[in-house]
Amino acid sequence: MRAMKDSGVEWIGEIPANWGIRKAKYVFQNGNNGLKIGPFGSALRGKTLGEGPYVIYNQANLIKDDFSIRRHYISDNTYCQLSHYAISAGDILFSMMGTIGKCKIMPDGEMPGIMDSHLLKTKLNSQILPHYFEYVYDKDNSNIVFEQLVYNSNGTIMTGLNSTIIKNVFIPLPSISEQQHITDYLDDRCAKIDTLISQEQTVIKKLQEYKQSMITQVVTKGLDPDVPMKGSGVGWIGDIPADWQIIKLKYTSYIRARLGWRGLKADEYVDMGYIFLSAFNVANNRLDFSDVNYIDQFRYDESPEIKLAIGDVLLVKDGAGIGKVAYVKEMPQESTVNGSIALITAIDGLNGKFLYYYFLSSMFKAYINLLKDGMGVPHLFQHDLKEIQIPFPKRKTQKQIISFLDFRCSTIDATISKKQTLIDKLTEYKKSLIYEVVTGKKEV
């Protein structure tokens, strides 16, 4: 077993006795190749194009590890004006706003372009290999640097990083030959782990597709494949059982939502009180009460029509999350919703749980996608909700369908949960392995 020494850095711990510790600024090149922040947003204002000869690279390229994502472009003239922000193959790119701690190497063969205001770039000197640096720095590989970023910025990383914070993080530094050996080993081991993760993700995707297909089939065709059918008169629904109806939501539901909240501001939130749900709390087709805001009784009581009750259906009606849905099965305490959510109570023979399942169908999702394609900022107005046409079987049939789907969906969800748990364990193992190897605690 090789001799170890204290690195003097809490997040690195012990390293081999023959390794060094360097601040990042000492492995960055100087001058024109040194650490550089992207242009101010004003430098690009009014100059971006839908397509063009030069790309504006951004944090999405780092977060998704995909440099083929190209949303904005610039002209030859603008590129010449901002050429000192140009990115070339081998550059090290850092995220600096919102999602911090990401680091990627600009690959060969990508379109020429510049970085935007949320990125930094540098080139490394001869002391360190780019791929080894990426293993040490990127937060999805280990927390060595991410924890330092949080600490050095006094926990205010949501406002963004600056070059000084990045320059002063500590990096474990073995010899170049050992760095190469480490990256070769990790490339091989991580590829095998990633393959296992990808296989499990494929299974989850297929299970989710099957689940949605099953829901769609049952809420529009019923449980009996031999029942007589008739045309629904609605193109995206198709045929329905002969004893079903098609009815507009406004005739079977009490729909309400609000624009804003009578001047409610975030500084009015209280530590304990009445739960105030937002679109953020509608996740994975259910309500997530683990991270909620609270309002006082006065604010809660001033809009009694949007107080939640068991059996209500919540539908996100604004923004990127439009179409997300949840069914109120239980509440830890009395709750209400903000202006981004429509609150729907089923009446006159419609079961709220049946409506919830219909909102999960691929047909309703297709309807939402049509809205998204036609709007800059997607929005479901109340009159749009009221005009939605839904299949409407008899109460007994609705209960049978709900019982069937509750059982089948819970079984599928349990399998997905097990698969996701395995993915989480593999991801954590990979991260732990990288940490152990790049700090020399595991000799390879």
- Domain ranges across the chain: 4-174, 245-392
Distance of CA 378 to the CA centre of its chain: 18
- Look at residue 154 in the predicted model and tell me its pLDDT: 66
For residues 112 and 54, what is the distance between their CA atoms, to the nearest angstrom? Answer: 5
The residue whose two tokens read 């550089």 is: 36
Beta strands 119-122; 36-37: pairing state:
antiparallel
Output the pLDDT for position 223.
Answer: 97
pLDDT at position 75 is 92
Residues of the chain with pLDDT under 50: none
pLDDT of residue 155: 56
**Predicted local distance difference test score (pLDDT) of residue 375:** 62
CATH level 3 topology of 245-392:
Adenine-n6-DNA-methyltransferase TaqI; Chain A, domain 2 (3.90.220)
pLDDT at 63: 93
The answer for 18, left when phi > 0, alpha when psi is -120 to 50, beta otherwise, is alpha
The pTM is what?
0.85
Confidence at residue 262, expressed as pLDDT on a 0 to 100 scale: 64
CATH number of 4-174: 3.90.220.20
Per-residue pLDDT, 260: 57
Using CA atoms, how far residue 208 sits from 191, 205, 216, 353, 368, in Å, is: 25, 5, 12, 19, 18
pLDDT confidence of residue 162: 86
Distance (Å, whole) CA 326 – CA 312: 9
- Give the relative orientation of helices 362-374 and 352-360 as an angle to the nearest 10 degrees: 60
* CA triple 23-67-204, angle to 5 deg: 100
pLDDT value, residue 97: 83
The pLDDT of residue 378 is: 75
Q: Do domains 4-174 and 245-392 have the same CATH topology?
A: yes
Alpha helices in 282-361 (DSSP H): 297-301, 352-360
Q: How far apart are CA 237 and CA 246, in angstroms?
A: 9
**Contact indicator for 93, 53 with CB cutoff of 8 Å:** no
Torsion of CA 283, 287, 289, 294, to 10 degrees: 100
- Residue 346 pLDDT: 96
Tokens of 367: 């309807």
pLDDT of residue 135: 97
Half-sphere exposure at residue 328, Cβ-oriented, CA atoms within 13 angstroms: 22
